[in-house]
Structure 1
Amino acid sequence: MELECYPMSQRPPDLVPGRQSRDWMDAFASRHPYRCLPLNMANTTGWEILCPFGFSAEWNGGPAQSDIVVTPDRPEPDVKHFVTSHFTRGVLTMHPQYLFRTPPGWSMTCQGSPNHIKDGIQALVGVVETDWLPFPFTMNWIFTRPGKIRFDKGEPFCFITIAQHKKAEEAQPVIRSLGSNPTMQGQYEAWLKQRSDFNSRLASGDPEAAKEAWQRFYFKGELPDQLGKAPASHTNKRRMKMPRIG
């Protein structure tokens, strides 16, 4: 399977596999957030498109295009081809500068990099039918209040993932009692018992619990001992491919 990426300029922004690290996650004691496997997987399940230069953008709260002022860190002749106020009303528009093509039935989600926090501005999310669309899309951010924000050179401004969007329509949510699935109920209750016991030992200062620090069932793809093994399909590290020249 190929994700076709057609550059729309001579020097398109860099496109790289999603990176795991986040500044706010690094700032925690012992980097605790990295113990949360769902966070790590979200951060890396897709590709980042990176800012080709650093810039600041300031919105005065007004509705016009001119109410957002973009200032690159140094003179950039193509600044308006990359970042501008196109949709007005505090929306900042950035151009990935690629035309993407996915296989039939596959779409692309265009969003901010997962768990990458920016104060004062919020990434908007779009789902694009890249299996037929013959023109590129834009990445849009909306100011959450008047003020100034900035993007650094090499900072992700867009994160893309792909999915079989038609398949999503086939999913039928069904609400059932946990008791209707005895196997799952038994697994949950065994996990809950071990979890409660571990937390109690940790709170009481038990040295073995303190040494263990956290339970790793999900991270390691394991179930409590009495429940056997988890499926071999479990993964705890995403390895997206780097773009190649085709």
Structure 2
Amino acid sequence: MCGRYTLSKLEQILRQFPGITALPPELAPRFNIAPTQPILAITNEHPNEVTHLYWGLVPSWAKDVSIGSKMINARAETVAEKATYRRPLSRRRCLILADGFYEWRKNPDKTKTPMYIRLKSGNLFAFAGLWEMWSSSDGSELPSGTVITTRPNALMADIHDRMPVILPPSAYKKWLTPEERSAEEFTGLLEPYPADDMEAYPVSSRVGSVKNNDRRLIDPVERDTLF
């Protein structure tokens, strides 16, 4: 799964996405983004803008937003089949901006080590995401999103049995196609990112608390200094 990630290299957004003409105001680096918090994304409805989504997909038919906390991830293997995800896969896709993510590796002694995973280049990247628009009874609207996950690559296989789908820049244009398309047209993009282009290292257990949000969370640490 993907339940925590970072977006700190905000200066790279306009450089890596040259078509973007608008950014939300007062952006700040974030080192511990968690479910139900706002996330930055580019939707296929407005491919030249970066916007905020609620992390946790809230379908239009939902009675309230609480369902979103259970829908932070969608599995690539079934995303074109499940009714909740098939519609947004054909109509509402998005790029969720990130520069790293966390996962907890299970150790032989049954403890868990928090790991930080990023591109070796250090560059900003994009998760494959889906989005929806939910309307409350008072007429207010909430755009929400989910991160698509897939099987692990060779690097991630030693850490977890799932990883987020990181799209290569060559896939951005197709993923952000504004017109409704067959859901099956996009499943071929939902593959593990090349392991050789990624790196992972242990970080402080402080990342386990969403109250912590500082640059020290992504500093590498030795195993015996994790706690």
Q: Please indicate, yes or no, whether the TM-score normalized by the shorter chain is above 0.5.
A: no
TMscore range, shorter length: under 0.3
Larger helix proportion of the pair: 1
**More strand per residue:** 2
TM-score, with structure 1 as normaliser: 0.21
Please identify the structure whose Cα radius of gyration is greater: 1
